[in-house]
Amino acid sequence: MPILGADMVAGTLIAWRKQPGDHVSRGEIIAEVETEKGLIDVEAFVSGVVERLVVEPGATVPTGTVLATIREDAGAPAAPAPEPIPPAPAPGRRARVSPLARKVAEQLGVDPDTLQGTGPGGAVTREDVERAAAAPRPAPAVARPRGRVDLARMRQTIAAAMARAKREIPHYYLAHTIDVQPALAWLAEENARRPVTGRLLYGVLLIKAVALGLREVPELNSVWRGEHAEPSPAVHVGVAISLRGGGLVAPALHDADKRSVGELMHALGDLVQRARTGGLRSSELSDPTITVTSLGEQGVETVFGIVYPPQVAIVGFGKVTERPWVVNGSVVARPLLTVTLSADHRVSDGHRGGLFLSAVDRLLQAPERL
Amino acid sequence: MKTTYREAVRSALRHALRSDPRVFLMGEDVGRYGGTYAVSHGLLDEFGPERVRDTPLSESTFVGAGIGAALAGMRPIVEVMTVNFSLLALDQIVNNAATLRHMSGGQLSVPLVVRMATGGGRQLAAQHSHSLEGWYAHIPGIKVVTPGTPADAHGLLLAALREPDPVFVFEHGYLYPLEGEVDETAGASEIGRALVRRAGGDVTLITYGGSLPKTLEAADRLAADGIDAEVVDLRTLRPLDTATVLASVAKTHRAVIVDEAWRTGSFAAEVSARIMEDGFYDLDAPVQRVCSAEVPLPYARHMEEAALPQPDTIAATARRLVQGRG
C-alpha cells in the first residue's frame, strides 16, 4: 500500500486491474485504492509478471503492506509489489490488539492495527473495533461511485498534515508584486491563434515560470528526509485543486519544467478533471516536489501557503488587479499580481527565496520563451 | 436453614457416622478436645472412642493408618490440623494414597477422606496460615475439593465419602464461623463442578474457598461502579471444571483469578493457562491474578491483611481491566 500523502496511514483496496499471470509494465495501473483523497489508481513500480495478489478487494490495510508480488522481468527475483515509495512499517512492534478484538475485527472487516486502543496498556479492545465498525463509513467500497471523496476523512488528513507542517517546519514568508501586462498581452495574442480547445489560461504560465525558476534555486525543489533535504532532479509541481464540497488535493504535473505550456495546459485540465471525479494516479499524489496554490479567482490579492511535508516550499498567487504602477518614471495603470513564497528555513534562506521570486518575475516578462 | 460453615462440616460428619458403620474420624484432638477448630465438638460423646479417635502428633502415622484402613474396607475420615502440618504426611499421600490403584492395576482402592484447615487471615503466623492446596491439585490419583460456603462444606464432604479414591478437603479457617444457608437433606454435592455464584457480563472473577466471600464483596463494590462482575467458584481444584470457566470468559471476555496462594507456580497460573489454551480468542484483555504477597505470611494483623488478597485489591484489578486507561 503506497503512501499517497504525508499522513496517510492506511488505504482500502477497491479493485485489481491485473490478475496473477498478467504482465505489467512500470507505470501501468495495477490496482485501484481508496484513500482520504478519493479513488487512486496505483501504478506498478517495476515491470514483470504478477505472481500473487495478497490483499483482497475491500480490505483496508496500513501503508507499507504488501499488496501483490511481481516477478520482475529478465528473471529477477520477485519483489514486493507496487510501491512508489518504500514502505515504512513500524519496525518490530506489533500493535496491541486483544485476541477477541482481532477476531471481531476480522468478522467486521475492520483493520484493528489502524485503531487507537482504549484498553489496558492502550490495547485495542472489542469495543474499539465495534465502534470503528459502527462509525459512519463510506458505503461498501466496491459499490461506491468513482470520485466520491470522504470529506470528513480528508479534513482530518489536511488537519494532520498542516498541524505537522506548522509544528515542525520553521516557515519564512516572502511576497513580491509582478507586472503581468506583458504576460497577459502575449497570452491574448497566443490564444487568438489557438483553437478554442487549445487555449491557455494564465495559470499555466505561472506554473511554468515557477518550474523554470526552480532550476535557478534548486534547494526549494527538495524533499525533506527527516534530517536533511534532498534536492529533486525532476520538477514535479503539485497544483492545489479545491474540490466541490470542500477539501483539496495537490497532485503533480510531472516534469513541469520540461513541457511546453500547451502540453501543461492539457495536462492541467486532465488533472483537475480527475481530481474532481476520481482516478488520480498514485505517482501524482506521491511525487510533487513543490506546490503552487492560487486563490486568484476568488478575489484575494495575496496568499501565503503552508508547506506540505515532505516538500520544503509552496508558491502562492493572488488575483490580478489593475493598480497604479510606475513604469519609466510615469504612473500608469497596470495588471499586477502578488506572488508569495512560504519556505522551510531549515533548507533555504530569505535571500535565496528572494532570488527565486525575482526569477519568476523575470521569466514572466518574457512569456514567449516559457 | 442458616448455619455456620463449622456446623455444616460437623453435620456432614454426623450424618456420615450415623449412616455408614465403616466411617470413622481420626486426627489430632478431634475427640476429647472437640477438634482444634471445634468442628468435631460433641461427636466423641455421641459415637464413642472407637469411631472418633484421637491420634498421636504424627501426621505420617495417622494418614498412613487411614490409607491402611481404607484399603481394608473402612471409610476413614482423617483430620489434619493445618495444611502446613500435612507436609509431614506427603510421602503417604503422594507415594501411597495417590498411586495404589494404578500400581495394583485397579485391584486396590483407597476410599480415604482427608480434611484439613488451610489459609490465613487469623493471625496464626507463617507455620499455620499457608494455602498449599494448589500443590495437592498437582497430583493425579487424588481429588481436591475446596468448599467456599457452608452448603458446600456439607455437600462436598458427603460427596467425598462416596468416592472410591482419596479426596482431600480443604476447609479455609477463615470460613468456619461464617454463616450460610444449608439444606441438610440435600445430600451429596457434585465433585468436579464449578458454579457461577454471581452472574455478570463485564469481567469474570474466578476463585475458590476462603477467597470466595472476599471476591463476592469485591463484585458488590464493582457493581457500585457500574461494573457487572461474574463470580465463578471453582469448588474443586482437581478435577478442574474448565468448561464453566471458559463459558464465563466467553461471555465477559476478561478474567481475574483470585487465589490466596503465592502467585509463582500457583493454581491461579494453571487456571490462567487453561484460559490461554482454550479461550484465547475470547479474551479482550490479559488475564490477571490476585494472589498473596510472596512472603511467609506475617503474624502482625496489618501486615497479614496487606499480604492477602482483599476485596479492594480484587476490585481494583478488575476495574483496571474493564476500564483500561480510559
The reported pLDDT for the residue numbered A71 is 86
Residue A33 pLDDT class (50, 70, 90 cuts) = confident
B286:A120 CB<8 A: yes
User: Are residues A99 and B281, on separate chains, in Cβ contact within 8 Å?
Assistant: yes
pTM of the prediction? 0.56
Rounded to the nearest angstrom, the minimum Cα separation between A108 and chain B is 15
Q: What pLDDT was estimated at residue A138?
A: 47
pLDDT digits (tens, 9 = 90+) for B29-40: 999 999 999 999
For residue A62, what pLDDT is reported? 83
Average pLDDT value for residue range A44-53: 86
Amino acid A138 reads P
SS3 B103: helix
**Model pLDDT, residue A78:** 47
Of B283, B320, B321, the CB nearest to A99: B283
What's the pLDDT at A142?
44
Question: What's the pLDDT at A171?
Answer: 95
Q: What is the ipTM of this complex?
A: 0.74
Alpha-carbon distances, residue B13 vs A24, B16, B113, B298 (angstroms): 85, 5, 11, 33
Return d(Cα A317, Cα A337) in angstroms, integer. 7
- What average pLDDT does the segment A230-253 reach? 88
Gap between the Cα atoms of B268 and A318, Å rounded = 72
Cα–Cα distances in angstroms (integers) from residue B18 to residues A40, A340, B11, B49, in the given order: 86, 104, 10, 15
Alpha helices (H) in chain B, listed in sequence order: 5-19, 43-47, 59-71, 83-86, 90, 100-103, 133-136, 150-161, 211-224, 242-252, 267-279, 301-307, 311-323
What's phi and psi for B247, nearest 5 deg? Answer: -65, -40
pLDDT, tens digit (0-9, with 9 covering 90-100), for A130-157: 888 887 654 444 444 444 566 777 788 8
pLDDT > 70 in chain A, percent: 89
Average pLDDT, chain A: 85
Q: What does the pLDDT look like over B34-60, one tens digit per residue?
A: 999 999 999 999 999 999 999 999 999
Which among B7, B28, B79, B128 is annotated as catalytic? B128
- Average pLDDT of span A34-49: 83
What strands lie across the sheet with B255-262, from one edge to the other?
B195-198, B229-233, B203-207, B255-262, B288-292
Q: Alpha-carbon distance A185 to A48, whole Å?
A: 50
What is the rounded CA–CA span in Å between residue B252 and residue B228? 9
Backbone torsions φ then ψ of B104, nearest 5 degrees: -100, 10
pLDDT at A63: 82
Q: Which residues contact A122 (CB under 8 A, 6 or more apart)?
A: A96, B324, B325
Q: What is the pLDDT of residue B157?
A: 98
Output the pLDDT for position A87: 38
Q: Tell me: the pLDDT tens digits for B148-184?
A: 999 999 999 999 999 999 999 999 999 999 999 999 8
Across the interface, whether the CB atoms of B283 and A100 are under 8 A apart is answered yes
Pick from A99, A119, A121: which is nearest to B280 by CB? A99
